[in-house]
C-alpha cells in the first residue's frame, strides 16, 4: 500500500494521510484501509499490522494484531474471508458530504459531493472546474475495485482446497 496516501481511492488516501500526520485513524477507516491492503493488493496482513504498530499513537499489540486478522479473515472470530470493503461505497456511506476526504485530501476539496469518492468517474468538465488532473494532481486508482475483488476471492478460494 502507498503509505503516503496515493492509492487513488480518496477514503483510503485520507486515512493513510491522517495516520501519517497524526498517528491516529478512525476505526471504520482502519478497517477499509486494512481490507484494501490485504484484499485489493493481496499483501499479507502482517505488513499492515507492522505499519500500524509503528505509526499509531494508540497502538495496542492485541487490538492491532487481532484487528488485522479479523479484516483478513484469518483470526479468531474473523470476518468472513469474502468480506471485501468497497472503498467508494464506504466513503459514500460514512462520509457522504466528503468532509473527511476534503480535510485530508485537499487536492480533491473542490469536487462536488457526487464525485468526491470516485474522481476518476467524474466528467472532464467537473475535474477541470475543481482543478483536478488525474494522474498529475491526484492519482488514478492503483487497482480496479471489481477486478481486485474478483482476484482476492479467487486467491482466498484456493485456501478451501488446501486442507
The predicted structure's pLDDT at residue 79: 64
DSSP assignment of 25-94: --HHHHHHHHHIIIIIS---HHHHHHHHHHH-TT--HHHHHHHHHHHHT-STTPPPTT----HHHHHHHH
- Report yes or no: 91 and 101 within 8 Å, Cβ to Cβ: yes
The domain of 150 spans: 1-163
CB proximity list for 154: less than 8 A, separation 6 or greater: none
pLDDT at 78 over 80: no
Task: Please list the helix, strand and coil fractions of the chain in percent, rounded to the nearest 5, in that order.
Answer: 60, 0, 40
- Cell 468532509, residue? 99
Number of domains in the chain: 1
Judged on CB neighbours under 10 Å (0-12, 13-18, 19+), 128 is: exposed
pLDDT at 141 over 80: yes
CATH number at residue 55: 1.10.579.10
In the structure, what pLDDT confidence band is assigned to residue 38 with cuts at 50, 70 and 90? very high
3-state secondary structure of 126: helix
The predicted structure's pLDDT at residue 23: 97
The predicted structure's pLDDT at residue 134: 98
The pLDDT tens digits for 81-114 are 778 999 999 999 999 999 999 999 999 999 999 9
Of residues 34, 72, 35, the one with CA closest to residue 51:
34
The pLDDT tens digits for 143-162 are 999 999 999 999 888 876 66
pLDDT at 1 over 70: no
Amino acid at each position: 500500500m502507498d503509505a503516503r496516501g496515493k492509492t487513488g481511492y480518496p477514503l483510503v488516501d485520507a486515512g493513510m494521510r491522517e495516520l501519517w500526520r497524526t498517528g491516529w485513524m478512525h476505526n471504520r477507516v482502519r478497517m477499509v484501509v486494512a481490507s484494501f491492503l490485504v484484499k485489493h493488493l493481496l499483501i499479507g496482513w502482517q505488513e499492515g499490522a507492522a505499519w500500524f504498530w509503528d505509526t499509531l499513537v494508540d497502538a495496542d499489540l492485541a487490538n492491532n494484531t487481532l484487528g488485522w486478522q479479523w479484516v483478513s479473515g484469518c483470526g479468531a472470530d474473523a470476518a468472513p474471508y469474502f468480506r471485501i470493503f468497497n472503498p467508494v461505497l464506504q466513503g459514500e456511506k460514512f462520509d457522504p458530504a466528503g468532509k473527511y476526504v476534503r480535510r485530508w485530501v485537499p487536492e480533491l476539496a473542490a469536487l462536488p459531493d457526487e464525485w468526491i469518492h470516485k474522481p476518476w468517474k467524474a466528467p472532464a468538465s467537473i475535474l477541470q472546474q475543481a482543478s483536478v488532473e488525474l494522474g498529475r494532481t491526484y492519482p488514478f486508482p492503483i487497482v480496479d475495485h471489481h477486478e481486485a475483488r474478483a482476484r482476492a476471492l479467487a486467491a482466498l478460494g484456493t485456501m478451501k482446497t488446501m486442507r
